[in-house]
């Protein structure tokens, strides 16, 4: 039987590997399939929309299969969709494959986080949750160089070398777990809805930072694209220590509020104050560190709002993450068009502030307990 930490790490790794592969290959993909780069970029919107709908569906199902079976289905969908993407003869077929990818991502993210609260012993939950969440930034850190290397052999190979391999490995490891019993949906309280809306707003702001950070650096400083890519890779790595630092803190509502407020202030600084590339990268790295910490705190705190149905609340958070990409890209693009990067910083700070206002309402402050390990891993 596989321990939960490596299983969930690999499931979340596979979920992100299926998402990151598109960015570096969009121009070549668009050229071969006869569409514009802008049209090809909508593939991410398709997968995000389907992923969000899938996560909401999981949350609302009256009766659900066991966690292992749901994770196995998610990994199988990622694997099959990656194979179909690699073989897609037309853009329409590729769009269909990416819709299937979205369903797999929605399942792996929602169920993977919830499983950390169900599969681990109480004193190990923080440790297992940290490893599960770490799978997401690890995919970007390890996957991007692989994509860059194998893309020299063609864009189709990248789907085979990264998400297909990760999905197949996750599926093999998940199936070594014992089967879980099915579960019934519990009544979702107001706290869960409040938490979900707050996470939607915060995730939209952070997603927009990820979308436009490269453009901000390229248009603000005399740097090349490879330098920007390397710098952003280093800042993304800061999420890992942030994630593991969170194992030793108590996930309370005031802490979640403080972390959200920091992100809002930092993104406003990004838009308004850019004295040099090192300063901007340092601010981005601090935001990545805090995002890793915040993801842990939000997941733990969210599960505590519905201790009798962790899957439902984590599925709703996964939906907020997927829909956040759509909202963040749209809001950020509009702000950038209207007022440049200062307006972008102000708009994203407003999203973080709105998230803070929603989750700081009195009903969200009642549940603050979550059993966690305070010993080193």
pLDDT in tens, 100-132: 999 999 999 989 888 887 887 877 888 888 888
Nearest of 84, 248, 71 to residue 169 by alpha carbon: 71
Residue 118, classified by CB atoms within 10 Å of its CB into exposed (0-12), middle (13-18) or buried (19+), is: middle
pLDDT-based confidence at residue 377 (cuts at 50, 70, 90):
very low
Distance CA 207, CA 202 (A): 9
pLDDT in tens, 234-256: 887 898 899 888 888 888 888 99
This prediction has a pTM of 0.79
Structure tokens at 155: 């864009």
Domain ranges of the chain: 4-184, 190-365
Q: Under DSSP, is residue 369 helix (H, G, I), strand (E, B) or coil?
A: coil
Residue 183 β-bridge partners: 64
In this prediction, residue 361 carries a pLDDT of: 67
Question: Is a pLDDT exceeding 80 seen at residue 9?
Answer: yes
CB distance 77 to 101 below 8 Å: yes
Nearest of 211, 199, 202 to residue 110 by alpha carbon: 199
Best mean pLDDT range from 13-22, 94-103, 206-215: 94-103
pLDDT-based confidence at residue 291 (cuts at 50, 70, 90):
very high
In this prediction, residue 115 carries a pLDDT of: 87
Nearest of 37, 149, 13, 18 to residue 85 by alpha carbon: 18
In this prediction, residue 353 carries a pLDDT of: 96
pLDDT-based confidence at residue 63 (cuts at 50, 70, 90):
confident
Average pLDDT over residues 222-241: 80
In this prediction, residue 187 carries a pLDDT of: 60
Question: Is a pLDDT exceeding 90 seen at residue 371?
Answer: no
In this prediction, residue 316 carries a pLDDT of: 85
Range from 37-46, 74-83, 128-137, 289-298 carrying the lowest mean pLDDT = 37-46
The owner of tokens 């099915």 is 182
Structure tokens at 127: 């440790």
Question: Is a pLDDT exceeding 90 seen at residue 82?
Answer: yes
Instruction: Tell me whether the CATH fold assigned to 4-184 matches the one assigned to 190-365.
Output: yes
pLDDT-based confidence at residue 186 (cuts at 50, 70, 90):
low
Mean residue pLDDT across the chain: 85
Distance CA 373, CA 22 (A): 37
Best mean pLDDT range from 210-214, 222-226, 340-344: 340-344
CATH architecture of 4-184: Up-down Bundle (1.20)
In this prediction, residue 336 carries a pLDDT of: 85
CATH of the domain spanning 190-365: 1.20.1250.20
Distance CA 171, CA 83 (A): 15
Question: Is a pLDDT exceeding 70 seen at residue 376?
Answer: no
Q: CA 269, 19, 317, 116 torsion: positive or negative?
A: negative
pLDDT-based confidence at residue 185 (cuts at 50, 70, 90):
low
Question: Is a pLDDT exceeding 80 seen at residue 309?
Answer: no
Distance CA 247, CA 367 (A): 18
Nearest of 159, 194, 164 to residue 85 by alpha carbon: 159
Range from 5-14, 305-314, 324-333 carrying the lowest mean pLDDT = 305-314
On the CB side of 94, CA atoms within 13 Å amount to 23
Best mean pLDDT range from 146-155, 216-225, 326-335, 347-356: 347-356
Distance CA 55, CA 7 (A): 20
Distance CA 33, CA 31 (A): 6
In this prediction, residue 96 carries a pLDDT of: 95
Structure tokens at 252: 């309370």
Range from 47-61, 62-76, 311-325, 356-370 carrying the lowest mean pLDDT = 356-370
In this prediction, residue 153 carries a pLDDT of: 86
Residue 140, classified by CB atoms within 10 Å of its CB into exposed (0-12), middle (13-18) or buried (19+), is: buried
Question: Is a pLDDT exceeding 70 seen at residue 290?
Answer: yes
Average pLDDT over residues 162-172: 95
CB distance 113 to 104 below 8 Å: no
CB distance 187 to 308 below 8 Å: no
pLDDT in tens, 260-282: 999 999 999 998 998 999 999 99
Structure tokens at 315: 């599925």
């Amino acid at each position: 039987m596989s321990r939960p930490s490596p299983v969930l790490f690999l499931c979340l790794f596979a979920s992100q590997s299926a998402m990151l592969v598109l960015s570096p290959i969009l121009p070549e993909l668009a050229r071969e399939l006869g569409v514009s780069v802008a049209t090809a970029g909508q593939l991410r919107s398709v997968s995000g929309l389907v992923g969000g709908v899938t996560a909401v569906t999981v949350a609302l199902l009256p009766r659900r299969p066991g966690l292992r079976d749901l994770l196995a289905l998610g990994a199988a969908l990622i694997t099959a969709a990656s194979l179909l993407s690699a073989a897609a003869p037309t853009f329409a077929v590729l769009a269909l494959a990416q819709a299937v990818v979205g369903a797999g991502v929605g399942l792996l993210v929602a169920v993977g986080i919830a499983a950390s609260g169900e599969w681990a012993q109480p004193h190990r939950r923080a440790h297992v949750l940290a490893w599960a969440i770490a799978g997401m930034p690890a995919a970007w850190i390890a996957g991007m160089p692989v994509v860059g290397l194998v893309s020299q052999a063609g864009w189709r190979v990248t789907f085979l070398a990264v998400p297909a391999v990760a999905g197949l490995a996750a599926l093999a490891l998940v199936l070594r777990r014992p089967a879980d019993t099915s579960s019934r949906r519990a009544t979702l309280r107001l706290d869960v809805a409040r938490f979900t809306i707050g996470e939607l707003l915060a995730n939209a702001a952070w997603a927009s930072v990820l979308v436009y950070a490269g453009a901000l650096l390229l248009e603000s400083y005399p740097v090349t694209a490879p330098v920007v890519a390397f710098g952003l890779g280093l800042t993304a790595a800061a999420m890992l220590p942030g994630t593991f630092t969170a194992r030793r803190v108590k996930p309370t509502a005031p802490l979640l509020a403080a972390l959200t407020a920091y992100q809002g202030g930092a993104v406003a600084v990004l838009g308004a104050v850019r004295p040099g590339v090192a300063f901007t990268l340092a601010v981005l790295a601090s935001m990545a560190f805090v995002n890793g910490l915040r993801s842990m705190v939000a997941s733990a705190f969210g599960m505590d709002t519905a201790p009798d149905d962790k899957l439902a609340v984590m599925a709703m958070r996964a939906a907020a993450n997927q829909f956040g990409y759509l909202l963040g890209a749209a809001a950020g693009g509009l702000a950038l068009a209207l007022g440049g990067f200062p307006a972008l910083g102000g708009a994203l700070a407003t999203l973080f502030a709105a998230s803070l206002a929603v989750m700081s309402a009195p009903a969200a402050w009642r549940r603050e307990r979550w059993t966690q390990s305070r010993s080193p891993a």
